[in-house]
Amino acid sequence: MSEDRRLKILREENPFISSSVGDPRDNRYQDVVSINQHAFEGLASLIRQKKKNPFLPCAGLVFGEIGSGKTHLIGRVLNLAIAADSFFSLAYIQPIEDTEETYRYLL
């Protein structure tokens, strides 16, 4: 398959191509296990470690380029936690769209 054809298919089928961000708690798109699989396994490992050792200090941060599947990844982690009956805190910060009002997004 040519690179142009591959990019055309990706643009048509990629649910993350839009710059708009949904809520990670909404299951708007079909789960694709292979997307960000390595990052997902790393976060799942952190959750398992924290569940085994509640006093272990640990944190995870998800960041990346627009359209890279961050919201999808966070949604997968939330679904895993619900299925495994794991509880953890999630601080979801909406993307900063107006750089003149950065702190508004953090408060």
Cα separation, 43 vs 62, whole angstroms: 9
- pLDDT tens digits, residue range 18-32? 555 677 777 766 777
- pLDDT tens digits, residue range 51-71? 899 898 888 888 888 778 888
91 or 45, higher pLDDT: 45
Average pLDDT of the chain is 78
- Residue percentage of the chain with pLDDT more than 90: 9
Q: Decide if 63 contacts 73 (C-beta within 8 A).
A: no
- Residue 73: partners with Cβ closer than 8 Å, 6 or more residues away: 35, 36, 39, 40, 43, 62
Extract long-range pairs of 93-99: CB within 8 Å, 24+ residues apart: 94/21, 95/21
Taking residues 3-17, report their average pLDDT: 69
pLDDT of 6 > 90? The answer is no
Structure confidence at residue 43 as a pLDDT band (50, 70, 90): very high
Domain ranges of the chain: 3-106
